[in-house]
Amino acid sequence: MTVTDDFIDALPKAELHVHLVGSASVPTVLELARRHSGHNVPTSEAALREFFEFRDFPHFAEVYFAVNGLVREPEDVATLVTGVARDLAAQNVRYVELTVTPYSHVSVGMTMPAVTEALDLAAREVADRIEVAYVFDIPGEFGEDADRGTLDHALNHPPERLVGFGIGGVEQDRLSHQQSIRDAFRTAVAAGLHSVPHAGEMTGPETIWEAIRELKAERIGHGISCLDDPELVAYLRETRLPLEVCPTSNVCTKQVPDIAAHPLPRMLAEGLYVTLNSDDPPMFGTTLTNEYRVAARDLGLGRKELADLARNGVRASFLSEGRKRAILAEIDAVEPA
């Protein structure tokens, strides 16, 4: 059957790879930029949209942290959470695991308890629209202090809905504090958090192997370079380790040259377990719904394949089994398995 916008809009979804600061809408960023001083973020819409045109991943990281520097009060954190939650709920997203980088908020003067309180209050505020859980993410560029600080926050001041522990940022920067990262993940996993590191976005399969062998990854953020290693592809296929794929993000940060070159169709053809995600949607001019449209329009996926991606997102989540069954039943009502 033909894939229509109405079908994609009606498809219940889960979002597993989306960053809090990267989800700030253009109006929200403009509001924060005008509210605060001492930064280089544009205060006009036209200039901000130009600011969001990225040369490469390091440039994207530079812009991301500039925007992050506008988040200076707990109220700013709560505003971001409620904003992305409402945006996702309007797209028929039932559940989101929202990636938060608490170290970056604490480093500008917020206390860990204040950040956590803001996250908790915001999740409760939107609970009637969408279920929000959190992943705490180490910013890989900031070394051992960030590793320890993120772990401390996760263990001693966790939000009520903290489910995962991850690491993002420029993957090449991890080598200088690799053992510290391993130690942080080992402790977080022992404490009951799920391991969900970014890997294989801007580096090769060796980073994915590191995430699997040393960080005990239960999902991989991006993972698109896995196709360069047949042994890794076979391992991922056999273990059904989920890969959180974000096509538009990869184009915007120049990890693939254009959407037609994106490896998502090949990953599916290889039998890999893939979920579809938006990453930093306003920065990349996308939404989760648009990622489904891109997969259909530009990558040739049909209704069943899109519905299966939605199912994968639910099954790969850290929802309770009962909630998973309920959302899967909603997907089946739109497109039977």
Q: Print pLDDT tens along the chain (337 aa).
A: 678 999 999 999 999 999 998 888 888 888 888 888 888 899 999 998 888 888 888 888 888 888 888 888 999 999 899 989 999 999 999 999 999 999 999 998 999 999 999 999 999 999 999 999 999 999 999 999 999 999 999 999 999 999 999 999 989 999 999 999 999 999 999 999 999 999 999 999 999 999 999 999 999 999 999 999 999 999 999 999 999 999 999 999 999 999 999 999 999 999 999 999 999 998 899 999 999 999 999 999 999 999 999 999 999 999 999 999 999 999 999 999 8
> Which residues, at least 6 apart from 44, have a Cβ–Cβ distance to it below 8 Å?
30
CA–CA separation, 20 vs 101, rounded Å?
8
CA–CA separation, 112 vs 159, rounded Å?
10
pLDDT at 63: 83
| Residue 137 one-letter amino acid | D
Contact 118, 126 (CB under 8 A): no
pLDDT at 287: 96
The alpha carbon dihedral of 46, 279, 201, 192 has a sign of positive
Q: Which is catalytic among the residues 15, 171, 201, 244?
A: 201
User: Distances from the Cα of 254 to the Cαs of 53, 202, 231, 248, 294, in angstroms?
Assistant: 11, 9, 26, 10, 17
CATH number at residue 232: 3.20.20.140
Query: Is 201 among the residues known to form the active site?
Result: yes
Three-state SS at 331: helix
Q: In what order do the strands lie in the sheet with 194-195?
A: 13-19, 93-100, 131-139, 162-168, 194-195
* Paired tokens of 95: 């559940």
pLDDT at 60: 83
pLDDT at 1: 65
Domain carrying residue 121: 5-334
Number of domains forming the structure of the chain:
1
**What is this structure's pTM?**
0.94
Q: What angle do CA 182, 241, 162 make, to 5 degrees?
A: 60
pLDDT at 279: 97
